[in-house]
């Protein structure tokens, strides 16, 4: 895992487990975990990770942007990154553009699909373990359906 990937993974975990109201607070928590970064680097990471600062009744908080418009845009991007979906009856193999498997796997893990047990990503390959292998054809078809991006 690269230092950037490690930092971003830690950012994701920290904002999920804690109520973070400022970038200064997040920089301090990262440092407590042995990760040093500047506020400028953190700002770029938050933007690239689609983490937004929302105002709540309890004050500002950083959260992953899960708005419908964002999720639809992400679905379209993921669909463009998928090149091939195949399975052997027990495991799905998704081929992606070079370097995009991790993003596709992260999308699938967060998709909330009831038949995805988990994913493992390489550079351009994602393995998807289905919960129910008897429904693997339908799952493959739904993942292939992500490639259809033009609603007009």
Alpha-carbon span 60 to 34, nearest angstrom = 25
Structure tokens of 77?
Answer: 């991007």
Residues 141/126/97/40 CA torsion (nearest 10 deg): 120
Q: Which helix (H) or strand (E) holds 130?
A: strand 125-130
Q: What is the mean pLDDT of residues 15-25?
A: 92
What domains lie within the chain, and their CATH numbers?
3-64 (1.10.10.10), 68-145 (3.30.1360.40)
pLDDT at 152 over 70: no
pLDDT digits (tens, 9 = 90+) for 71-129: 788 888 999 999 999 999 999 999 999 999 998 998 998 787 889 999 999 999 999 99
Residue owning tokens 């689609």:
50
From CA 145, how far away is CA 53, in angstroms rounded?
Answer: 32
Give the global pTM: 0.59
User: SS3 string of 68-118?
Assistant: HHHHHHHHHHHHHHEEEEEECCCCEEEEECCCCHHHHHHHHHHCCCCCEEE
How many CA atoms are closer than 13 Å to the CA of 17, on its beta-carbon side? 8
**What angle, rounded to 10 degrees, do the helices at 23-32 and 3-17 form?**
110
């Amino acid at each position: 895992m690269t230092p950037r990937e490690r930092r971003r993974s830690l950012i994701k975990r920290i904002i999920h487990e804690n109520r973070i109201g400022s970038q200064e607070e997040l920089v301090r928590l990262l440092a407590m975990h042995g990760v040093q970064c500047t506020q400028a680097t953190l700002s770029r990471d938050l933007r690239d990770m689609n983490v937004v600062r929302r105002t709540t009744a309890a004050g500002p908080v950083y959260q992953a942007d899960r708005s419908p418009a964002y999720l639809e845009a992400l679905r379209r991007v993921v669909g463009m990154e998928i090149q091939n979906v195949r399975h052997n009856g027990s495991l799905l193999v998704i081929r992606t553009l070079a370097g995009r498997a991790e993003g596709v796997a992260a999308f699938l893990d967060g998709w909330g699909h009831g038949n995805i047990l988990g994913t493992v990503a390489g550079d351009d390959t994602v393995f998807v373990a289905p919960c129910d292998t008897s429904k693997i054809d339908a799952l493959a078809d739904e993942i292939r359906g992500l490639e259809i991006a033009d609603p007009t």
